[in-house]
Structure 1
Amino acid sequence: MSDTYIAIIIVLMGIGSLLTRAGYLMLGQYFPLSKTVSRGLRYAPVAALTAIVVPSLLPWTMGEWPQLGAEFFAAVVAALAFLRVRNILFMIAVGMAVLWLLRWIF
């Protein structure tokens, strides 16, 4: 692959990323979202956080049980903290603090 080819690919991917990310900001007034879509977008941060956390808690091969490591206990403590306070930022902070503490201890 030549340097020109790589540069063209980088520029095209940058343009594609710009159009997909900024397209709604530029044209959003012409295409309003329905109430159902707006309501569904409220769950996007929770879905993203779940997509990041759950793969580290579940086994990668079929037939294995989840490993009960530091990540598992930090997730349980974070979930309990969320149920108590109902604040997602507090949950993330508690979960990360417990994870760091457990990794430091073990």
Structure 2
Amino acid sequence: MNAPFGISSQHDRVAFDRSELGLILSVYGRMVAAGEWRDYAMSFLREVAVFSVFRRAAEHPLYRIEKRPRLRGAQGQYAVIGMDGRILKRGHDLANVLRILEKKLIRPVD
């Protein structure tokens, strides 16, 4: 059922819950502290919730963290997608999927 005036209700949208956002913002905070990321945006659509990460404002996102509940029974509802559109990691456990981003923090010591 749609809300009046063509505005969809929040029940028609996919969103991250509090625990999911906590995991995402934890990784985001570490990457900001490391100087890798500077900005983010969130989109809550009918089929997907997206957390986009930017190095600078006004550019394409470096990564997109997506939640697609329709894929819950198949490959998994969570995915990390790179700037070029490739799926870097997909799965059922958000913490496990986000580990692909934490690998970016590990650098060799000179």
- Please report the TM-score for the alignment, with normalisation by the length of structure 2: 0.30
Quick check: which one's strand share is greater? 2
